Amino acid sequence: MAKILVVDDESSIRFLYSQELAEEGHEVLTAATALEASEILQAQPVELLVLDIKLKNESGLDLLQKLVKERHNLPVILCTAFSCYRDDFSAWLADGYVVKSSDLQELKDEIKRVLAKRSR
């Protein structure tokens, strides 16, 4: 199981993810902004980032680019309400892309896949 950081500006979504992913046995940290996420990442090691694209006044894709530059080994899954960013070059930097759904199975499967790939 892994330590996962969830970055989303919606508190309810952060809470839902925390519950569901904790049930899967993961340790879940949450952040509402890119700044908060950066602070957490500097303070402790994280194995996977679940990142929303539309944060309040920020872009998750900008944070993704910054992370790719600074932390090459951190896998990132973009989890967003938008399907259109799948074709965006910036989004290709992520290890996975999931469109938000009330059924979190797809996200859970993607987390398993990405972690398995990283552990190989």
Partner 1 sequence: MNWECCWAKEKIAPDECPYIAEGEKELCSSLGKRVVEKCVECPRFKTDLRKLRDMGYPLTGILPHILAEFADQRAQLLSMGSFLDSKTREINFLHELGVVLQTSMDLDEVLSVAMTAITAGKGFAMNRAFLLLADKERQFLEGHLGVGPRTYEEAWQTWADIDRNNFTLKEMAKHFYDTKLSSEKAKFHDLLERLTVPLADEQHILNRVLNDSKPVLVENASAQPELYGSFAEILGSSSFIIVPLISRKRRIGLIIADNCFTHKPITLQDMQSLETFSFPVAFAIERASLYERLQEEVDKLTSANLKLQEQQELIVKMEKMALVGKITSNIAHSIRNPLMIIGGFARSLLKTVAEQDPKREYLESIVRETRQLEEVLGEVLTYSDSLYPTMDSWDVNQLVSNVCQGLSEKFQERKIQCSLELGPDLPTVYIDYKQISYCLRTILNDSVEAIAGAGEIRLATMRNDDYVILAISDSSRKSELPAGETAASHLFPRQESSSSLGLPLCATIFEKNGIPFAIDYGDDGMSVTIKLPITREA
Q: Which residues lie near partner 1 (CB under 8 A)?
A: 10, 12-13, 16, 19-20, 54, 81-84, 100-104
12 versus 119: smaller Cβ distance to partner 1 = 12
Output the smallest distance, CB 4 to partner 1, in A. 16
Output the smallest distance, CB 100 to partner 1, in A. 5
Output the smallest distance, CB 109 to partner 1, in A. 11
CA neighbours within 13 Å on the CB side: how many for 67? 32
1 versus 81: smaller Cβ distance to partner 1 = 81
Given a contact cutoff of 8 angstroms between Cβ atoms, the answer to whether 91 and 99 are in contact is no
18 versus 38: smaller Cβ distance to partner 1 = 18
Rounded CA-CA distance 6/13 in Å is 9
Output the smallest distance, CB 117 to partner 1, in A. 18
| Secondary structure of residue 98 in the 3-state scheme | strand
83 C-beta neighbours (distance < 10 Å), count: 10
Closest CA to 27 of 61, 47, 2, 48: 2
12 versus 57: smaller Cβ distance to partner 1 = 12
Contact residues for 12 (Cβ-Cβ < 8 A; gap 6+): none
